[in-house]
């Protein structure tokens, strides 16, 4: 069994971020369970000062720069076996002058060099683009092989940190980032999703979703924006609705043109078109609580802090400035006054 001495070299491009991780993170994740008698990370300047000082005589020395996020341990093992077969003691990885290499003991011969996709380095914007797209395809292919439906790889971007369950459907022009999870039976279409959960049977269409949870059977979009939102089961968040730091109970409907900020909204409540939760008084954000089975008519303004009880009905065009008791009707409009227009005499 081979004895490995594993050295990682930290370069200026090791911290380049792509698809949810830095280049170095991809390498360290891949080699996390690699069996080596010694393993360490060194600065590029320290390695260049005395490279031979990091070699072990009685081991296979594997020197890898941390700017190669496409690295796979299977490729390293393949070329170790190839060196043994060809009776060569050294292989440069990627180019003839590469710092990344496989060396049998303290061999000094030039040996061979291998130009493989896995050993592409991030050196400039062009190489970053090449590595990014190859890595993107690997991530998408892994999801496709697992049973995720991805309709168009060219317009779909999924971070390596995101979890997509078997049976989920990702439609074109979608980007899923960070610690997101799209569960089985969920659909994401033409949307941006970051650090969010889309549960079974939920649908997100042409929307912007950050730090949020969309529960079973809920529909979001098109053109909705969620920030720190908890969207309950069977909810409907429609077009041009923004939900910020709020919780919507089961079956809540906010179908269009509304802002729900710093609020708790109870089960089955209807949020009418143009309703605004006025949460900011110029100095602080204030909370609004709306009970279950309420009806908020179109163009309602709720001036926080305020509480609306269960089964309350707020008439369209009302500005609510005081708490509303449950099972009551509230109307607060200016009385309509219609006058005849008299034309000036010529």
Annotated catalytic sites, by residue? 256
> Which region holds residue 15: left if phi is over 0, alpha if psi is between -120 and 50, else beta?
alpha
Is the preceding peptide bond at 222 cis, omega within 30 degrees of 0? yes
Residues found in the chain: 346
User: Any alpha helices (H) in the chain, and if so which ranges?
Assistant: 23-30, 44-49, 73-86, 125-146
Contact between 103 and 61 under an 8 Å Cβ cutoff? The reply is yes
Q: What's the token pair of residue 287?
A: 């909370």
Strand order in the sheet with 4-10: 38-43, 4-10, 60-65, 101-104, 90-93, 112-114
Sequence-separated contacts (24+) of 129-138 with Cβ below 8 Å: 131/18, 131/23, 131/69, 131/70, 132/18, 132/19, 134/70, 135/18, 135/19, 135/26, 135/69, 135/70, 135/160, 136/19, 138/70
Is the separation of the CB atoms in 23 and 13 below 8 Å?
yes
What's the rounded Cα separation, in Å, for the pair 224 and 239? 5
Helices (H), 95-184: 125-146
Q: What are phi and psi of 295, to 5 degrees?
A: -125, 115
d(CA 319, CA 293): 19
**In Å, how far from its chain's centre is CA 345?**
67
Q: Which residues contact 223 (CB under 8 A, 6 or more apart)?
A: 206, 207, 239, 240
């Amino acid at each position: 069994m081979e004895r490995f001495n594993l050295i990682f070299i930290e370069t200026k491009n090791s911290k380049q971020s792509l698809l949810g991780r830095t280049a170095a993170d991809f390498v360290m994740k891949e080699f996390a369970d690699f069996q080596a008698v010694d393993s360490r990370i060194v600065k590029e300047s320290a390695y260049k000062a005395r490279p031979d000082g990091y070699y072990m005589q009685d081991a296979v020395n594997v020197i890898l720069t941390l700017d190669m996020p496409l690295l796979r341990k299977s490729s390293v093992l393949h070329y170790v076996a190839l060196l043994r077969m060809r009776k060569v003691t050294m292989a440069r990885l990627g180019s003839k002058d590469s710092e990344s290499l496989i060396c049998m003991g303290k061999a000094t011969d030039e040996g061979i060099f291998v130009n493989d996709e896995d050993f592409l380095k991030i050196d400039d914007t062009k190489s970053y683009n090449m590595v990014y797209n190859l890595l993107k395809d690997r991530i998408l292919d892994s999801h496709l092989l697992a049973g995720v439906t991805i309709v168009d790889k060219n317009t779909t971007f999924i971070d390596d940190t995101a979890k997509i369950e078997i049976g989920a459907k990702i439609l074109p022009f979608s980007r899923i980032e960070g610690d997101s999870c799209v569960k089985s039976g969920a659909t994401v279409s033409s949307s941006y999703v970051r650090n969010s959960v889309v549960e079974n049977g939920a649908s997100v269409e042409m929307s912007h979703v950050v730090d949020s949870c969309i529960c079973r059977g809920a529909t979001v979009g098109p053109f909705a924006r969620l920030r720190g939102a908890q969207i309950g089961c069977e909810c409907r968040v429609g077009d041009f609705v923004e939900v910020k730091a709020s919780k919507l109970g089961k079956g809540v409907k906010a179908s269009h043109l509304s802002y729900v900020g710093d609020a708790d909204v109870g089960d089955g409540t209807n949020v009418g078109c143009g309703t605004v939760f006025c949460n900011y008084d110029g100095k602080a954000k204030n909370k609004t609580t709306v009970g279950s089975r309420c009806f908020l008519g179109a163009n309602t303004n709720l001036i926080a802090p305020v509480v609306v009880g269960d089964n309350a009905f707020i008439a369209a065009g009302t500005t609510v400035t005081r708490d509303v008791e449950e099972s009551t009707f509230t109307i607060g409009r200016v009385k309509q006054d219609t006058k005849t227009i008299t034309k000036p005499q010529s």
